[in-house]
A and B are shown apart, each in its own frame.
Chain A
Amino acid sequence: KAGVTQTPRYLIKTRGQQVTLSCSPISGHRSVSWYQQTPGQGLQFLFEYFSETQRNKGNFPGRFSGRQFSNSRSEMNVSTLELGDSALYLCASGALGTDTQYFGPGTRLTVL
């Protein structure tokens, strides 16, 4: 099976812009979670989607949003970018009935 894929791998944006990141889970997985990784804060949970519904949400401002499509692919959007949003954004997928999550390679976002 193909693993979790994320596009694009790298992005450079300027403050105030918005950005959309995409994640395709492992075939058959219906749960998609997003995490932000920074050197200072480590790995922090953003949100989780299951069957097109947001099931859980971390402690991030409303500028961070996401959605999931009927084919389980997910997108996350960050509006009004700030310098502090520079991070590696990781997507993970999981199978029904298990807590185990498999991660993609991440999207490296740099905000200038």
Chain B
Amino acid sequence: GEDVEQSLFLSVREGDSSVINCTYTDSSSTYLYWYKQEPGAGLQLLTYIFSNMDMKQDQRLTVLLNKKDKHLSLRIADTQTGDSAIYFCAESGGSQGNLIFGKGTKLSVKP
């Protein structure tokens, strides 16, 4: 079935790199996404990667895709307190044409 798994919590120190991991099951997904949700807010699209790519870099964000293991990661360089939020991994290609989301990883950045 369709499923996206993420660890629930990650804590890092300001200035360190954060790596948030995700595994997915649908190998036919065309795109894989990372969204950020701050308290009381909606989902902000951070970045996405096409399924035929291995890596995508966008300023402080690096997305790595391992298609063989169906593993996606988001690396945030020089993590700041403003990066504290919940990060959702999502895959396209749900059976109803929808996005399938993980439960979200809560990133806490300590000063």
Which residues of A does B touch, CB under 8 Å? Answer: 4, 6, 33, 35, 42-43, 45, 48, 55-58, 90, 92, 99-106, 108
Q: Is the CB of B44 within 8 A of A103?
A: yes
User: Which residues from chain B contact A92 at a C-beta distance below 8 Å?
Assistant: 43, 99
Q: Is the CB of A90 within 8 A of B43?
A: yes
Given A100-B45, A100-B48, A103-B45, answer yes or no on A43-B88 (Cβ-Cβ < 8 Å).
yes
User: Which residues from chain B contact A43 at a C-beta distance below 8 Å?
Assistant: 88, 99, 101
Distance A108 CA – B88 CA, assembled complex (angstroms): 19
Q: Dominant SS at the B interface?
A: loop
User: Which residues from chain A contact B98 at a C-beta distance below 8 Å?
Assistant: 33, 35, 45, 48, 56, 58
Min CB distance, A26 to chain B, in Å?
Answer: 12
Given A42-B104, A43-B88, A100-B33, answer yes or no on A55-B97 (Cβ-Cβ < 8 Å).
yes
Besides A56-B96, A101-B45, A102-B45, 12 more A-B contacts (Cβ < 8 Å) are A42-B103, A42-B104, A43-B101, A45-B96, A48-B96, A55-B97, A56-B98, A57-B96, A99-B93, A103-B35, A103-B44, A103-B45
Given A45-B94, A57-B96, answer yes or no on A100-B101 (Cβ-Cβ < 8 Å).
no
The 7 nearest A-B residue pairs measured at CB? A45-B98, A99-B92, A103-B43, A43-B101, A56-B96, A56-B97, A105-B42
User: Which residues from chain A contact B44 at a C-beta distance below 8 Å?
Assistant: 103
Distance A103 CA – B92 CA, assembled complex (angstroms): 15
User: Which residues from chain B contact A35 at a C-beta distance below 8 Å?
Assistant: 98
Q: Is the CB of B31 within 8 A of A103?
A: no
Given A42-B104, A99-B93, answer yes or no on A90-B99 (Cβ-Cβ < 8 Å).
no
Distance A99 CA – B42 CA, assembled complex (angstroms): 18
Query: Is B30 part of the binding interface, using a Cβ–Cβ cutoff of 8 Å?
Result: yes
User: Which residues from chain B contact A4 at a C-beta distance below 8 Å?
Assistant: 42
Q: Is the CB of B97 within 8 A of A106?
A: no
Distance A45 CA – B2 CA, assembled complex (angstroms): 13
Given A99-B31, A100-B31, answer yes or no on A45-B99 (Cβ-Cβ < 8 Å).
yes
